[in-house]
Amino acid sequence: EQTLAQSSKLAVLGEMSAAVSHELNQPLAAMKTYLAGARLIIQRKRPEEALASFQRIDDLIDRMGAITRQLKSYARKGSDAFEPFDVRDAVSSALAMMEPQLKARRVAISRTIPDHRAMILGDRLRLEQVIINLLRNALDATRGVKDPAVGILLAAGQTVSLTVRDNGPGIEDLDALFEPFYTTKQPGDGVGLGLAISSNIVTELGGRLTARNGSEGGAVFELVLPALDAPAAAAE
């Protein structure tokens, strides 16, 4: 049993190695956008705004360090590293990460977030990676849409569910969607790892990630995770 568990862990580590490379591309792209903006702001002699951009770049560098440390942490502790956290915070961080791309593409974002906490037990950084992947997927899906729109719905009760929908063309092959290296993107736009990695992460967190086509068009992704009630989380 111990050998089987170790083999399983090594397989997951292999997937995570691919994930690390995949996920580092997102903060790198955001840093490039912020740096270009900072140069322009400096030329216009608005130093305070430039400093804000540099702070965001600094935050992104910290995130990249956290992503690389994550692999070491998992190798050492596995699921023992899970901690209670509020999914609302993970959603906010993911949206902040994707902000430059969303603004550049003029994507309309609608969000429905509860006033009360949405607590789960897990790895916040990895869940943020899932949300970023879903937002990136929605961004790519709406590339040819005149008025691109993405909706985010977070609900918390017996479970915590997060729904991300877009107004793109929808999904052609639902059965193959979460398979590694499956992609409908043009060469150079992605290798088809994002959704496969996301599905594995959600499964490891004890939840499930599903996809469907919306009744009015577009794609709908829903992830459902076991909720951690507020008293239990506070006791931690």
Query: 64, 119 in Cβ contact below 8 A?
Result: no
**SS3 readout for 79-124:** HHHCEEEEHHHHHHHHHHHHHHHHHHCCCEEEEECCCCCCEEEECH
Confidence grade of residue 102 (pLDDT, cut at 50, 70, 90): confident
What would the mean pLDDT of 90-113 be, rounded to a whole number? 88
Q: Which residues pair with 120 in a beta bridge?
A: 85
Say if residue 11's pLDDT is above 90.
no
pLDDT at residue number 187: 37
Nearest of 17, 233, 34 to residue 124 by alpha carbon: 233
Q: Which residue has the tokens 């076991």?
A: 226
Place of tokens 């609302």: 88
Percentage of residues in the chain having pLDDT higher than 70: 70
Residue 144, Cβ density class (10 Å: 0-12 exposed, 13-18 middle, ≥19 buried): exposed
pTM of the model: 0.67
Angle, helices 2-43 vs 47-77, to 10°: value is 170
Q: Tell me the average pLDDT across 70-74.
A: 57
Residue indicated by tokens 């849409």: 145
Mean pLDDT score, 14-18 = 57
Residue 10's pLDDT is what? 54
Instruction: Give residue-wise pLDDT tens across range 129-169.
Output: 899 889 988 998 898 889 999 999 999 999 999 999 999 98
Residue of 13 and 234 predicted with greater confidence? 13
Report the pLDDT value the prediction gives residue 149, as an integer from 0 to 100.
Answer: 94
pLDDT digit string (tens) for 50-67? Answer: 888 888 888 878 777 776
Longest dimension (CA), the chain: 64
Per-residue pLDDT reduced to its tens digit, 166-196: 999 888 766 666 665 445 554 334 434 567 7
